[in-house]
Amino acid sequence: MEVVDENGTRISKPENKKLVAGILAIIIPTGSLGVHKFMLGYTKQGIIQIFLTIFTFGFASIIPLIEGIIYLIKTDEEFYQTYQVNKRGWF
């Protein structure tokens, strides 16, 4: 995706992964395995999500459900800035 900055220069902006990450987080098997975290580049948080799901016997699957809803509620720009530029790993 290309955008034009204030100087009129075209710059390339990486793809916004909001919709895919939100859906992956909400779908129970992929969300509880942290697939949405791995897709966004958060390997450490993805591994933590797997362990949380295992050690809480699946109860921690509520975390990705909440995250998925948050992802989808945010505007495209908010999501991009929060999770792709600033690399915020949780919520």
pLDDT confidence of residue 17: 87
Residue 55 lies in a domain: yes
Residue 5 lies in a domain: no
Residue 1 lies in a domain: no
Residue 8 lies in a domain: no
pLDDT confidence of residue 14: 66
Average pLDDT, the chain: 85
Residue 30 lies in a domain: yes
Structural domain boundaries enclosing 41: 16-85
Which among 71, 3, 2, 74 has a CA at the least distance from the CA of 31? 71
Q: pTM for the complete prediction?
A: 0.76
Residue 3 lies in a domain: no
Using the predicted structure, report yes or no on whether residue 58 has a pLDDT greater than 60: yes
Domain tally for the chain?
A: 1
Residue 6 lies in a domain: no
Residue 69 lies in a domain: yes
